[in-house]
Amino acid sequence: MFCLSASDVHPLFWSHYADSHRWIFLHFKAVPGTLFGLARAVEYRAKRPAILVPLQYNKSADRITDAMVSVKGDYWDYEDEYRIIGHESADVEWGFTLSNRLCAFPSKLLCGITLGLRGLHRSS
């Protein structure tokens, strides 16, 4: 799973995902026909859907997957998150090759970098 956000302005991003300003944010062009164009919006709900156990009691495997990876609690909605979910047949379906769970992308899709405040200098 590769998680992205349509927003880069919320200050909690830096503490949750960038090690308190020690890391960077990469900005990508998410256009159709590219790896990032495959990203799907996360749904934010007050009540998350139930996943029944044993799993065969659920209506379908797709529904289980959606409930697990496409829905988050509504208190996370400031993230404006998008996700790309990789799977074994992704090479064939997407046309992008996964190698050891990594996927390369053309450098022209990288359109910006935001540096964390604490990543600009070395502390002693």
| Residue pair 3/109 in contact by the 8 Å Cβ criterion | no
Distance in angstroms (rounded) separating the CA atoms of residues 29 and 24: 17
Domain ranges of the chain: 2-119
Residue 116 in 3-state DSSP?
Answer: coil
> pLDDT digit string (tens) for 91-103?
666 667 767 777 7
pLDDT of residue 46: 95
Q: pTM (2 decimals)? A: 0.77
Q: Which of 93, 84, 92, 102 is nearest to 35 (CA)?
A: 84
**Cα–Cα separations (whole angstroms), residue 52 to 18, 59, 63:** 35, 9, 11
Q: Per-residue pLDDT for 119 more than 80? A: no
Model confidence at 43, in pLDDT bands (50, 70, 90)?
Answer: very high
